[in-house]
Structures are given as C-alpha cells and as structure tokens.
Structure 1
Amino acid sequence: MRRTRLTHACVAALLMIGSWTAAGTLPASASDTAGSAGSAARADSAPASAALLQAMQRDFGLSPARAEARLAAEQRAADLETEALEAAGSAYGGAWFDAKSEKLTVAVTSDADASTVRDLRSSGAAVRVVEHSARQLDAAKARLDRLDAPSGVSSWSVDPTANTVVVNVVEGERADNDVRRFLSEAREAGPVTVRTVEAAAETFAAGTVGGDPYYTGNVRCSIGFSVHGGFVTAGHCGGVGGQVRGWDGSYIGNFQGSSFPGDDYAWVNVGSGWWTVPVVLGWGTVSDQLVRGSNEAPVGASICRSGSTTHWHCGRVLAKNETVNYSQGAVHQMTKTSVCAEPGDSGGSFISGDQAQGVTSGGWGNCSGGGETWFQPINEILGRYGLTLHTA
C-alpha cells in the first residue's frame, strides 16, 4: 500500500480495523454485551484532541472552553453511571446526561434506600423517582423483541427519561392493521409510549466510489476502529470469507466474522502491507483523533462520527439497547444518535472524547436535512470475537 502522506495511510489502515461508526449502510452484502474488553485507561491529559473540540464547536455552537468543559462533565457522568447502577441495585431506573446542568440524572424507584439516594446526590448526580425499574422496562422491551414487527414500525427501546418503552412508528402508518396489532401486543408487554418518525430505518450501503473507504464486491463501507490484527466494521457490509480491498484497490484481508441481521457487526483481518493504528480520520475537517479506550458514554452525552461519505458530524446519544426493524430483519442492542449519515458511511467510527463507542449501522435522513443514525456498541463487538481495541 502506498500513500503520499503517512498520516493518511495510517488513517486508511485504521479504517479497516476499528469501530469507527460512520453511517448505516445498505445490506450491500448482507449484512452479550461485553464489559470493557479492550478498553484502555483514560489519559490524564486533555479530555479530547483539537479535532473533537472543533467538531463540537461547529455542530453544537459551543465556545472552545464550553466544548472542553462539556467533555469533562460527560466523562464524570460516564464514571458515575456505573457506580449508580451498583449502588441503586434493583431500584435503579436508568440514567442520562443533562446538557444544560452538565450532570448525570439517576432514576430510582420509590423503594430505593434513603442512604443510597443521599449518596447519589452527594456524588453530584440529580435523582428522579420513577414508577418502573430499569429491569422492568428491559423485560418489557425483551417481550417486544419476540414479536413480529411490520415494516411500519421503525424501532423500539427503553427511554429512561420518560420511564417507558418507546415504539417508533413511521409517519402515516399508525392506522395500518398490522401496526395496530403490534402496538396492542406491545402495550400488553408493559409501559409503552408511541412516537412518530419521518421515515423507516434503513442501512446505508453504497456502490463503489472514491474516498478513503474499503470495498467488498461492489460495495463501499467505512472502517470502524483498529483492533490488534484487524479492524471492526458493520456486518451488513460483508459476509465471512469475503475479500476486502482498500482505498487504492489493494488487498487488505477478509471478513473473519460477520453477523447481520440480529446484530450488525463484523471484523476484518489486516495484512499484505496494511497495518492498524489507534486513529479516527478527521478528513481535513478536523485533525485526526487518537483512540484511548472504549468507556461507554451515557444517554444525552455528545458523540461524533467519522465516515467516508460525510466525514465528521456530531450529535447526542438518544437511546441505548434499541431494536431497529430494518427491511432485512431486526437488529438488537443498538445505540441511537442524533448524528446524520449517508450511504457509504456504514461501519464507520462513533467516538465520544477519546473513547471509542461503536460502528455505524443505519438510520434515516441525510446530512443536508438531518436525521438519526444507529451504531452497534464497540464493547459488544470486542467481546463477541475476543478482540482487543488498538489504543494510543
């Protein structure tokens, strides 16, 4: 592999290794939650590179100081979320980051121990009393996962801020008999709220085009994150054994593991002159971003995406563990974001601060008019295949 600039070459190699979360991709070729496999300790230096701070200033309208303060607050919230789950136990009702107060809000049921509530508040979290525990909501959502969803139902997930399971129905489809039947069965499963979305969820595959992508057959996708021995990406981009070529057409490796639908993740081995680097490409819009770990950002936190079609865009984490009903079948345990994406971004990187979050699966809309994009969490992928994230 040759490239005029070493940095760009490293990024291209990275695209084949990681968990870059770009935008969803069409089922070009079809496409357990592991804790912190491959996660590295955070650096004691700045909370993020200039690349991410610049992107947040652009997409969120923040000053440099406010962008840095936001990232620092989100890191504290991510650490506190894990502690809150352990402290609240069966009374835990979920948690989310509030951008206005820059605090984590922890929901607990009325039977939460008074000392636990005091400890949570003293740690800096806001506490909200709710009716349903996270376990109850997760159980209701799991019952929906066993239902046969019609195409008019886009997705469903637990919304901790509303303390309910939210079912997203495509605009104009709510009166459809199959949709009405699904909603009736969903309400029997537990607390459900129905919301309307503009379009159905779809994967974002693309035909062969230029850029810094990777190719399999006539499909272009984006590299997610580098792992030792290869990179992770979206499962709908290729099946096991499929050959992968780089931006210059040279052979990189083959899909060693792939799952879609049900899941949407895969990993590709790297060789033949290609190598892995712990970097997410900035595409000249921002400087390249180093990857230092994979600590999971809470709902409400800011997050950015890199992909070979639309490059850098930022938004917020909207929901976790969402089931997305693609035309090829349902995909589980997805994270929904307000970040836009377009065909060819599939498999690309989602990152929060310097922490890898996941790889782009699909969504709706585009980067001109806006939309939403889902990603498959990186730690689940690492755990599924026994991979180790390549970190700086």
Structure 2
Amino acid sequence: MPLHDLVGGNAFYIGVTRRCSIAFPVLKGAQSGFVTAGHCGAKGMSTTGFNRVAQGVFQASDFPADDYAWVSVTPAWTATPAVDNGQGGTVPVAGAKPAIEGASVCRAGSTTDFHCGLIQQHDASIAYPQGTVFGLTRTTVCAEGGDSGGAFISADQAQGIASGGSGDCNLGGVTYFQPILEVLSAYGLELRTTAGNPPPPTTGTCTGYTSTYDGTLEAGKSAYQPQGLSYTTKITGLHAGCLDGPLGADLDLYLQKLIGATWQTVATADGPGPDEKIGYTGTAGRYRYKVGATAGSGAYTLGFSAP
C-alpha cells in the first residue's frame, strides 16, 4: 500500500472543491492525524489529501469562539514532524514553545507557500460573520484563501493554526493564528516532534493528567500555564490540577477563569509545601493556572485535565 506524509502547510480537501491547509501532524494515542482551522470543516466530514487520495475524518471542530479542529487519518498517511518551507524542503518541528510579541514567525499554506513576519499581539480577537474568535495571536504575515488552517512556526517551535485576517501576499496583510497549545489541550493531542512520540512518561507526583507543563520559578515570582496562555472548555465539568515543586520550596496553585475582561481566581491551593492539588467543577469558559513561589525556587511540573 502506498504511503503518504502529512506535512504542515500542505493542502487537503473537504468535498470536491473546498481546500484548506494542514497546520501540524499530531497523535492521539496510536492514532495519527493533524490539526487545522475549525472553520475548514465540521465533525464527521471526510477529507482527501493534496494528491486527492482518501485521507481522514474530522473528529472534532470548534468555530466560532475558537477556530481549531483535528482530523484523524487512515494508515496510508504518516504524521511527520515537519512544515513545508515552500522551496522543496521542510522545517523541523521540535516543540511548541510560544514566541513573545515582536518575535519573527512564519506561515506555511497551500496557496501562498511560506511567508514570514512578526508577532504583534497575543490574546487578540477577530470578528467573523459567524461570530467572534477569541484568544488569537495577531501577526504581520500575509495569507490568502486556502491558506486557512496552515502552520505558524517560529524557528523550530510550532506556534499555531492560521485562522484569518486581511490583505494578501502582493500588498501585504495581517493574519491571526490560534495558539497550538490550546487545541492540543482541548482534544488531548500530542504534537508530532523531532524528539519522537509519544514523549517519555512523566515522573513525579503529577502523573496521569491530560496535559503536563514544566517551568522554573524564583521566590516571589509567578507564572501562567499553559505556557503563558489559557485553555477553553465547552462544557461544565471537573478541572483537576496538580503541582509538583522542589523540596523545601513553598509553591501555590491558582485556577483562574476569564469573566468578562477580567481573570478571576476560582480555586486556590496554598498549603505550606511545594506540592498542591486543585479539583474544581466549573462551567464552560476560558481558564488558566497561576503558579506562585511564596518561598524557595526551582523547577516545577504542572499537570492538569479539563472537561
């Protein structure tokens, strides 16, 4: 049986004529697939690849409010840790560390290939006729029709999924992307990376959680997870968080929810030691974890699962 590679930025088709672009190949357990924009297709829709070979099925799709989806593929397609560079080669995908505002970022798409620019603003929003999408990142990278769903990458770090914008690649424009960490968290996916998949099992006390993040804190400092961003849940359910800190430190854990335009703490675990756990039943919305170091410093691990 001929095999075909999934590569970020490559085309895929929904139906006869509708075309979008792959963002990043992913794994869900042993199942291969890819993530793309939610407005590209609805759950249950079938896809064909750039070569019109039968490819996969949309397993989940969110749009508007968010703009992401994931597609599972047949065994004929292999998830690769790569993004098409528009010049006959690829850019490797080593991880998903978010880039700061002002950093360079590039987009791969099936209409206009590979273009680069700068990150202008995190946590931006854009109003579409179908509704407003929140939590996007604004860039100076151009895009055109068919580039939707494509890959945004900074060096070798996956950044997000092309959502939409204005302008074109002749005159220039503005394009927004959906941060990759949010869709991975929402659907319980693993990014296909050059480090290999699945990743090594987590050690320590915070095992068995859907998402795991590592960080380092100094006394009196705090950090937000996942990776300075947030995650969205569509249903009411249990938010379970687990913090594993260095021996001798005093770390605290806070679960925050975006209510209106303000982040409000909805659950707190602030015992005297380095390890904390939160269990909170919350309604649909956007959430994030705050990790604070009251005393001591060092590396920590945060594991969490969302509804």
- Asked if TM exceeds 0.5, the reply is yes
Deviations 1:114-135 (A, max 9, x none): xxxxxxxxxxxxxxxxxxxxxx
Letter in 2 for 1:358: G
Partner of 1:227: 26
Which residue of the other structure, out of 154, 158, 175, is the alignment partner of 1:352? Answer: 154
Residue 270 of structure 1, CA deviation: 1.4
User: Are 1:246 and 2:45 counterparts?
Assistant: no
**What is the percent sequence identity of the aligned residues?**
49
Comparing 369-378 and 212-221, the one that deviates more:
212-221
Partner of 1:41: none
Q: In 2, distance between residues paired with 1:386 and 1:272?
A: 20
Q: In 2, distance between residues paired with 1:252 and 1:14?
A: 13
Partner of 1:307: 109
SS at match of 1:262: coil
Q: In 2, distance between residues paired with 1:352 and 1:250?
A: 30
Q: Which has the higher contact order (CA 8 A, sep 6+)?
A: 1
User: Are 1:269 and 2:67 counterparts?
Assistant: no
Residue 272 of structure 1, CA deviation: 4.0
Q: Which has the higher strand share?
A: 2
Which runs of 5 or more residues in structure 1 are unaligned? Answer: 4-8, 21-211
Task: Kindly report which structure 2 residues correspond to 1:1-392, keeping only aligned pairs within 5 A, or say none.
Answer: 2=2, 9-10=4-5, 13-15=6-8, 212-217=10-15, 218-228=17-27, 229-284=32-87, 287-392=89-194
Q: TM-score, normalised by structure 1?
A: 0.47
SS at match of 2:39: helix
Q: Is the 8 A contact 1:270 1:276 kept in 2?
A: no
Residue 274 of structure 1, CA deviation: 0.8
Q: Which has the higher helix share?
A: 1
Q: In 1, distance between residues paired with 2:163 and 2:171?
A: 19
Q: In 1, distance between residues paired with 2:86 and 2:172?
A: 20
Residue 2 of structure 1, CA deviation: 4.9
SS at match of 1:278: strand
After TM superposition, where is structure 1 displaced by more than 6 Å over at least 4 residues in a row?
none
Residue 271 of structure 1, CA deviation: 1.1
Residue 323 of structure 1, CA deviation: 1.3
Which runs of 5 or more residues in structure 2 are unaligned? Answer: 195-307
Q: Is the 8 A contact 2:108 2:114 kept in 1?
A: yes
Letter in 2 for 1:354: D
Deviations 1:326-368 (A, max 9, x none): 1111001000000000000000000001000001000000000
Residue 251 of structure 1, CA deviation: 1.1
Letter in 1 for 2:181: N
CA RMSD of aligned residues (A): 1.4
Q: In 1, distance between residues paired with 2:185 and 2:54?
A: 27
